Structure 1
């Protein structure tokens, strides 16, 4: 997979399809549609009509034409420039950033049938998510014009549902410095290597008696563990990857209602569950090295290579170029005044608030005493392993001494995956959080959250 935005965009070419819509069409829709499906004459007349009409509300639809209409890119871009007065060029990525910066441009209604036709021409199964009744502007929690195809079909990135696990002692395929997602619930310890999860981006499991799903967005570097048993629903939700993105973040879907969900927030954003009030509860998960995890959790089980799918699960294979690059593969506006777009942060969204800690803060100290929403926290991190764990700390202040965690009285505490345990048996609970690229935090929680400054 190429990691450069321009070459990736250039790979995506939709086949021309006959219109399945009514013969009596809105002339704006016909003009927009001509960008991909019209003859040369129809296309020229369509662009002239849109220019004469003079309203930039068609630019979101023309952006779809720009992405897939390779042979007409220059002329489509010229029409968009005339309508907006912006000399942005012919790059779809740059125009998408302009669109994100200009939410006052409300798309013409023709966007819905046009975008549906294009995307259903790629995969007819996308109709599960793109029902017209759910695409009205007042029915969605995100902007239809910013939903983009990620280059795969529905379930093209297959989830792992109750996958085969093996004892840690039998995982000879893993190298000590391979990173894993480490999970422990009610004493049930599991490890899910990133080199496998990068190909699947989702598992649906029951761990320690708790139904959970790990939603891993490789593009935004975040793996979030959610509880999937939701109050008022008889069965746990089961999730998959839709094939769609929003601001370079995966849109997952539940298999019961086919609602689209924001992976970063755990909330439904398109479909039947939009106004349900559901927000998935997070569970703690840590990224760390296999050597560290198996040493502290010798009884852990770990994913088997026998996933039922044929993939190259070698170390450093999946998304190798993307992870090594400072570029994003898909468009998202990012405030880079303090942090670069692919700098790592540890993000917590709990207690009615959101806060992020730059991972590089843990190069200066292994322990940070801080708070979120006036709730005192202690964070224990290792930037080399990309590992951060957070716990409530009450009135305690912690430091590291002789490799162990000690409080202000010099008493040593025991670190477990679920609690900190004091010398008198006092327990301080773990707080759920996850690693993420800065750009994802900035896009989804930057306006509402705070950032640790050191």
Structure 2
């Protein structure tokens, strides 16, 4: 991925091989937003215009150069159909920035983010028009009227290579029994386990890697499970807040290599890691989706604890190779990122796994997976709350409020405290006769770079 041609070719392989490709349409969606006297149509012409029109558009951008043009030209380069256009854009970038990154697109983006150029309302309009040639629904994402309430920078929102829901979410997916799943799930296959009000579900990673999002109902509660393959997170959210349901989908865009969702009603963009709307009509709503505890474990370990579990069925309505580790194998095997991020923290490697937690008031805590495996019963604090993190033989992590109790070792499904008392370890709480249950707390795994990009102020235990 050392040059633009290689990166662009890689993106095409990724799109064709895994996702439903997004066509480029000749006619963009119309817009009535103001242009602020800036050459908005010039960038669009670079994508869909005839050769002479493209030459004139480049000349117009050159003569009316604005600092934010660097970001817009990088976005335009991603959509180029004429193989000559990337080279022409690079020459223009080098002329006006005095930088010499050539076709190193990610280096250009790093330069853009370092300079944090002020983005005028016209930037949103231009982005809207550019991406409407891919999917007319994208036009609603970037309405300039939502800029005052935006919680993220639009030059950090990058297209992932697909249309809206081009990575098809699973809606109310079919479930099957553990006995049936035994026929096609191997003992060490990774599953994401969830129990709510006594109802157990297992969602195999090998299926979700192709879909990244499901909406379902468990114990009469609407939920969305979001698996961001790029940042290694699997989070389960309740989607009803203050009696209002939010139907979430895959937006087609990323923020700091983290999947952005959208809601069907308002087309607001939502952060996967925050569980909150970040751009659009709901960005200043204060909505925060409630999180459910989810565990990453093996099929054999989950089945042993929950023999009556329901399992996400292979009958998804889509034709995919659902073999273990098939999707994104090359991505998972390296430390390289598909989409670069503004800042890295080198205390851990990019894709080192951490367990991520948020306190009730939003204080983040990250604990390295390898540290937890060395310390299978670990006491910590989440904000002001004493907690205990329990790691079993499968490597699964579960987090509980600890109260005033100190635990020192795990004995199968019992957690022993320092007084020798054996607490029963369940998915919803730790139980001991005569004592108040110690509730389970939401936590999930993530790649370090993804967690840090969302929570740069996180405390890290490693």
TM-score of the pair, normalised by structure 1: 0.90
Q: Tell me by how many angstroms 1:54 deviates.
A: 5.1
Q: Which residue of 1 aligns with 2:3?
A: none
Q: Tell me by how many angstroms 1:428 deviates.
A: 0.3
- Report matched runs for 1:255-404 at 5 Å: 255-352=264-361, 353-382=363-392, 385-400=394-409, 402-403=411-412, 404=414
- 1:261-299: per-residue Cα shift (whole Å, max 9, x none)? 111101111222112110101110111000000001111
Contact 1:5 1:328 in 2 (8 A): no
In structure 1, distance between residues paired with 2:357 and 2:188: 26
Q: Which residue of 2 aligns with 1:80?
A: 93
Q: Which residue of 2 aligns with 1:442?
A: 452
- Report matched runs for 1:165-176 at 5 Å: 165-171=175-181, 172-176=183-187
- Report matched runs for 1:124-273 at 5 Å: 124-134=136-146, 137-171=147-181, 172-233=183-244, 236-273=245-282
In structure 1, distance between residues paired with 2:25 and 2:125: 15
Distance 1:108 1:79, change over 3 A: farther
Q: Which residue of 2 aligns with 1:415?
A: 425
Q: Which residue of 2 aligns with 1:8?
A: 10
In structure 1, distance between residues paired with 2:289 and 2:27: 41
- 1:359-386: per-residue Cα shift (whole Å, max 9, x none)? 110231211100011110000125x845
Distance 1:21 1:203, change over 3 A: closer
Contact 2:345 2:452 in 1 (8 A): no
- 1:100-154: per-residue Cα shift (whole Å, max 9, x none)? 2222x123554334322321111223234344533xx313222222222212211
Q: Secondary structure at the match of 2:47?
A: helix
Distance 1:18 1:293, change over 3 A: closer
In structure 2, distance between residues paired with 1:293 and 1:133: 48
Q: Tell me by how many angstroms 1:205 deviates.
A: 1.6
Q: Work out which of the residue numbers 81, 93, 114 in structure 2 matches 1:101.
A: 114
In structure 2, distance between residues paired with 1:110 and 1:253: 22
Q: Secondary structure at the match of 1:189?
A: strand
Contact 1:201 1:216 in 2 (8 A): yes
In structure 1, distance between residues paired with 2:161 and 2:395: 28
Q: Work out which of the residue numbers 52, 60, 66 in structure 1 matches 2:77.
A: 66
TM-score of the pair, normalised by structure 2: 0.88
Q: Tell me by how many angstroms 1:66 deviates.
A: 2.3
Q: Tell me by how many angstroms 1:51 deviates.
A: 4.3
In structure 1, distance between residues paired with 2:120 and 2:93: 14
In structure 2, distance between residues paired with 1:192 and 1:107: 41
Q: Does 1:117 align with 2:126?
A: no
Q: Tell me by how many angstroms 1:229 deviates.
A: 1.2
Q: Secondary structure at the match of 1:180?
A: strand
Root-mean-square deviation (CA, aligned residues, Å) is: 2.5
Q: Secondary structure at the match of 1:166?
A: strand
In structure 2, distance between residues paired with 1:113 and 1:39: 22
Q: Tell me by how many angstroms 1:21 deviates.
A: 6.6
Contact 1:56 1:80 in 2 (8 A): no
Unaligned runs of 5+ in 1: none
Distance 1:18 1:437, change over 3 A: same
Distance 1:57 1:159, change over 3 A: closer
In structure 2, distance between residues paired with 1:225 and 1:34: 42
In structure 1, distance between residues paired with 2:23 and 2:247: 30
In structure 2, distance between residues paired with 1:17 and 1:6: 21
In structure 1, distance between residues paired with 2:188 and 2:431: 28
Q: Tell me by how many angstroms 1:178 deviates.
A: 0.7
In structure 2, distance between residues paired with 1:316 and 1:169: 22
In structure 1, distance between residues paired with 2:288 and 2:273: 11
